[in-house]
Amino acid sequence: MASLTAAAGGSALASGCTGVQSALNPHGERADALAVLFWIFTAVLGLVWLVTMAGLFFALTRRRDSRGEPAQAHPAVKRPVRIAFAAMLTSTVIILSGLAVLSFDGQRAVFGDGAGAAVTISVIGHQWWWQVRYEGNNGFETANEIRIPVGSAVDIKLTTGDVIHSFWIPSLAGKLDLIPGKSNELRIQADKPGVYRGQCAEFCGQQHAHMAIFVVALEPSEFERWRAKQAAPARSMAHLAKQSVFASAASSPFAALSEHSQ
Amino acid sequence: MARSVIDVSGLPTYAFGSRVTPWWGTFSFCLLEGTGFALGIGGYLYLAVTNKDWAKDAVPLSLLWSALFTLVLVVSALPNFLIKRAATRESLRSVRLLLLIMSAVGLVLIGLRIMEFSALPVRWSDNAYGSFVWLLLGLHGVHVLTDVADTLVLTVLMFTRHGTGKRFSDAEDNAFYWYFVVLSWLPLYAVLYWLPRF
Amino acid sequence: MSPAIEERHETRDTDLGDEELRARLSRTWGSARGLIGILSTVDHKIIGIRYAVTAFVFLLAGGIMAIIMRLQLARPDSHLVDAELYNQLFTMHGTTMMFLFGVPVGEAFAVYLVPLMVGTRNIAFPRLNAFSYYVYLFGGLMLWGGFALSIRPDVGWFSYVPLANLNFTPGKGPDYWAQMITFTEVAALAVSVEIVVTVLKQRAPGMTLDRIPLFVWTMLVHSFIIIFAMPAIMLASSMLIMERLVGTQFFNPDAGGDPLLWQHLFWFFGHPEVYIIFLPGTAFVSAIVATFSRRPVFGYLPMVLSLIAIGFLSFGLWVHHMFVTGLPEIGAAFFTASSMAIAIPNGVQIFCWIATLWDGKPVLKTPLIFVLGFFFIFVAGGLSGVMLASVPIDTQVHDTYFVVAHFHYVLIGGTVFPLVAAVYYWFPKVTGRLMDERLGKWQFVLAFCGFNITFFPMHLLGLHGMPRRVYTYPAEMGWGGLNLLASAGALLFFASFLLMLYNMIASARSGALAGDNPWGADTLEWATSSPPQPQNFDRIPCVTSGSPLWDQGDDNVVVGGLKVDERELVVTSIREARPDIREESPAPSIWPFLAAFATAVAFIGSIYTPWAITWGSPVVAIVLVAWFWPKTIEENV
Ligand code: HEM
Ligand SMILES: [Cu+2]
Ligand SMILES: [Cu+2]
């Protein structure tokens, strides 16, 4: 496991690459689907932009004249323009419809069927930390850190204790808000062991910028071991609350991860 | 330079209805205020639908004062109609008389609305239902108040030396706005007073 | 009445020669000197300029806030400003740009140009127009005065509840914010009503519906959008302030309310707001493209229909700002479809402009060059908007720097670039002098490079996980490089505005004289002198073409028979613009200023005690009566 720590921590901290919290660096089924959709849209729309700019360039260079010709109040509408207009309208409609269909299809990556989650976790947003509660009769809590087993679906129930926050782990899934009086549910799944960083995405007051959260994906056996240890009744809750609030969020999960890999 | 001229010297300096700019001004204000009412009702219905506890909060409002208010308001459409007609005919005597009647009606309506507020079973701070009841009644109340104030001023004007010419057009415009006050009340009345009873 | 007075009142324009007519009319329509005169004027041109200058000052103020933010974000873990101040800065920046710059600057051009373009002597309800300006001014002064006194809103330009509620944000900041909103919306609504009525009823004889310039059509649709959108935000901001001041429960889920109600109301306004800000930009583009291609914009009818379609569709999109609140799936799908649909009329517009350029021989003067910048940037922003319309994609990029990039591409590309073009284009009309072309081109280089260097990297930052509204970020996130680049670009971009400011001041003093129609344009504002006389036109033109100055030549038809010593203008029928009434246009008055002042005092007072409304209302009422009370017997006829 030491190598894992080195890999996760190394890529995140040492190399300074932008992958720790990136939608373009997906490590879960949902984030994968979203990234693919994103690239398709980018390609298609990028092409549309290029075609438009080419049209503009062509229009400008066709008959330039810096002196200006006498104005024409009623220029005849030329055939090519009509054809181009029809082509533009048709292709716009086709492209948009195609993208809309892809988008509807991609909605499955957002609105899952909700069946068969291996683990259900409640996350409660607070100014400016995340309270994480593992449900069940051996329930326990952590803060600013969620551990999940690799390869299984995990449902996260999102509620808030104060204002609106938004739960977002870009490498695993899109974001979802935590709204007073409402409970939202988000499914995440990690394909590989590792530490995935996330951050509150809805402005929630003064320290919004520091409201980070880490998802630590562990091999299932290791996850179970950790869970059993957490659930042990001897473990007091008090130190967890302390650990959370302004614990230097960056270091703790890596430490945690290595603690288990020893 | 060849110049031909369209002669407008014979045109009137005022007219009635949608020919004049104030009518369109009033019409635009009705549009935007109507949107405000519609959104207010929309917000009320949104909470009624999304909120599980709404039925518990939504105590029906007493029907007494509101019924009187609605009755007087609807009946006032008649003198209002007559004002419009008298104004178009520029009949100073009828306009004066009718404006006096409309001013009196307006004051009665304000009185009824005050009674209504004092008899409301919820306060604005009790729950969102209460907040909306106060908001919508207040919003409409402000419209009644403005138009009554306008009517009073116009009545005074009509009894001074200014009661000629374009003032008739103003009186007509004022009557037009009153229709809006009447019409906008009806959906509010249905939603606030009858919906919670079903 | 003595015969002499009788005589004077009866002088008609047909009785006088050109010189004398001009002098007499400009006396009749002119504004008085002195403080009272300045505050009493109802000339739409003067008020339009005031709107524009005020909006420009707010643009600079908002820009300075942005520069400070960019300096803070240039390096990771920076301590130039702290979290508290940063939150105030982005709130002030967004609020100022949207409410104190974006909307009013469109009003400024509408107020100045629409009456000229439709060939009338003043805007409809000119006193309301004066009132609206003062209300806007006081609203802006209130917000910034509060800022100076450390009463600073810090919950963003959309003030989500419950964060904006009293228990999470004590202090008066959000109250000032909410009242400022009410102020500026009152102003925008008033101007919209004036524009609608001016366009419908005061067009020069012969300007039938299909001869209305595209600029004017655009402003008409813009005004209608305001009329239907702004009531939502006035309602919402009033509810917010009541929630904070008298304890209503609209948004409290524990008492039957719902925080999402705020979001629905806000965005029901907020999405159309984007089009409210953007449409004036398209109005500028239409005018400029036509003039510099030397032909009318291709496809008048499709253009007008697209505008109307945009107007309608803009009300069906608001939920796309709420895709991550946990909507039902079907609702999300509906709003994806409607959001994509609006790309169609936008596409039609872009096509028609490019087709016009293609057909003509475009003259590359500064206004047109900025319009080309508009195409480059706005189309990119529109296309990234299509991405945001897709719910799945939005769940990744919502509330990140990708969105910050997107909306600056559409707002700056769609509004600010055309705005700069419009400044260069109409400056000679307003001042009589041309702006310097060479500086204009330099400004373009600075603005275009600066803009793209600032905002393009933000797309990438968002995709790499940088949320918006963060005052700093840890170095290990790896966002430092792109942020540094963006900040450098921001300085360039800001400098381009300083260059423009310099160019404006220098050119106003010593620019080349422009003459009536320096660009050889086709619409009526170029038919009068630069700057126009107080009466706009000595003789009201009659219109027989959609491009009157190109079609009609010198061989002009005019209206005769208006009184010379009274403020008379021609009211025409809606469709055919047939002359119908000689309506009296209100004279200058100090009461609109006093009414705005009284309203401002009552509103500011209401932040401290609700009784201010109770005591303020009668005062406002009295002032309003004074405003409308006829001063002379002549006003009755
Ligand atoms: C000098 C040019 C500008 C620069 C450098 C700039 C930069 C920024 C920055 C850094 C933010 C804050 C991002 C964050 O912390 O979330 C921001 C937000 C914003 N900007 Fe600009 N901006 C500029 C011009 C404009 C203009 C012209 C407009 C509108 C017409 C505009 C509208 C907004 C809005 C609405 C926000 C959102 C504020 C909020 O989150 O509440 N900006 N801008
Ligand atoms: Cu948060
Ligand atoms: Cu947050």
Residue A6's pLDDT is: 39
User: What CA–CA distance (Å, rounded) separates A133 from A240?
Assistant: 11
The C-alpha angle with vertex B79 and arms to B75 and B80, in degrees rounded to 5, equals: 95
Count CA atoms within 13 Å of residue C456 on its CB side: 11
pLDDT tens column, C230-262 = 999 999 999 999 999 999 999 999 999 999 999
B131 and C249 within 8 Å at the Cβ level: the answer is: yes
Of A172, A166, A19, the closest CA to residue C460 belongs to A19
Domain enclosing residue A222, as ranges: 119-231
The tokens describing A160, both together, are: 């808030």
C547, two tokens? 């491009």
What mean pLDDT do residues C290-310 have? Answer: 95
Q: Report yes or no on A145 lying in a domain.
A: yes
CA angle, C232 then B122 then C257, to 5° = 45
User: pLDDT at position A243, please?
Assistant: 43
Given pLDDT bands bounded at 50, 70 and 90, which one contains residue C18? confident
- Tens-digit pLDDT string for chain A (262 aa): 334 433 444 334 333 344 678 999 898 888 989 999 999 999 999 999 999 999 999 999 887 665 667 888 888 888 889 999 999 999 999 999 999 999 998 887 777 666 778 889 999 999 999 999 998 777 899 999 999 999 999 999 999 999 999 999 999 999 999 999 999 999 999 999 999 999 999 999 999 999 999 999 999 999 999 998 888 764 444 444 444 444 444 444 444 444 443 3
State the smallest CA–CA distance between residue B64 and chain C in angstroms.
25
Residue C474 forms contact with A (CB below 8 Å): yes
* C358 to A202: CB separation less than 8 angstroms, yes or no: no
pLDDT in tens, C72-110: 999 999 999 999 999 999 999 999 999 999 999 999 999
Q: What is the pLDDT of residue A251?
A: 42
Residue C452 CA to ligand 1 center (angstroms) comes to 14
Per-residue pLDDT at C633: 55
Q: Confirm whether A175 is domain-assigned.
A: yes
CA of A126 to the centre of ligand 2 (A): 7
pLDDT at residue C56, as a whole number:
97
pLDDT band per the 50, 70, 90 thresholds, residue C631: confident
| Predicted pLDDT at C507 | 96
- Cβ proximity of A34 and C396 under 8 Å: yes
Position A41 in a domain: no
Is A127 part of a structural domain of the chain? yes
Interface test with A, best of C77, C260, C354 (most A CBs within 10 A): C354
pLDDT score recorded for residue C12: 87
Query: What is the chain A residue with the closest CA to C351?
Result: A85
Q: Which of A101-110, B177-186, C129-138, C199-208 has the lowest mean pLDDT?
A: A101-110
Q: Look at residue A2 in the predicted model and tell me its pLDDT.
A: 39
What's the mean per-residue pLDDT of chain B?
92
Mean predicted confidence (pLDDT) in C351-365 = 93
Residue C8 has pLDDT above 60, yes or no: no
Taking only the tens of pLDDT, chain B with its 198 residues reads 447 778 898 899 888 988 999 999 999 999 999 999 999 999 999 999 988 888 888 898 989 999 999 999 999 999 999 999 999 999 999 999 999 999 999 999 999 999 999 999 999 999 999 999 999 999 999 999 999 999 999 999 999 888 888 889 999 999 999 999 999 999 999 999 999 887
B165 neighbourhood in chain C, CB within 8 Å: 636-637
Cα three-residue angle B107-B110-B115, rounded to 5 degrees: 130
Collapse the DSSP code of A140 into the 3-class scheme (helix H, G, I; strand E, B; otherwise coil) and give the result.
strand
Q: Are C275 and C346 in contact (CB under 8 A)?
A: no
Chains near B with 3+ CB pairs less than 8 A apart are C
Q: Which residues line ligand 1 (CB under 6 A)?
A: C 63, 66, 69-70, 90-91, 93-94, 97-98, 102, 156-157, 404, 408, 411-412, 415-416, 454, 468-469, 490, 493-494
The answer to whether the Cα torsion of C313, C316, C322, C323 is positive or negative is: negative
What pTM was computed for the model? 0.93
Please report the atom of ligand 1 found closest to the CA of residue C470. 15
Give the residue-averaged pLDDT of C290-298. Answer: 94
Kindly list the residues from chain B whose CB atom is less than 8 angstroms away from the CB atom of residue C18.
none
Do the beta carbons of residue C363 and residue C290 sit within 8 Å? no
pLDDT at C145: 94
Band the pLDDT of C619: cuts 50, 70, 90. confident
Is residue A219 one of the residues assigned to a domain?
Answer: yes
CB-CB under 8 Å, B32 with C227: yes
pLDDT of residue A64: 64
Kindly identify the ligand whose nearest atom is closest to the C-alpha of C280: 1
Res A177: pLDDT: 96
**Kindly report the CA angle at C39 between C37 and C45, in degrees rounded to 5?**
90
Residue A17 within any structural domain of the chain? no
Number of domains observed in the structure of chain A: 1
C478 touches chain A (CB under 8 A): yes
Look up residue C549 and give its amino acid: L
Q: How far apart, in whole angstroms, are the C-alpha atoms of residue C622 and residue C605?
A: 18
Residue A20 to residue A250: CA distance in whole angstroms: 11
Mean pLDDT of chain C: 93
**Predicted local confidence at residue A63, as pLDDT:** 74
Whether residue A49 is contained in a domain is answered as no
Rounded CA-CA distance C182/C189 in Å is 10
> Given CB atoms, is C512 within the 8 Å cutoff of chain A?
no
CATH code of the domain in which A204 resides: 2.60.40.420
Residue A97 lies in a domain: no
Which of ligand 1's atoms lies nearest the C-alpha of C493?
1
Q: How confident is residue C555, by pLDDT bands cut at 50, 70 and 90? A: low
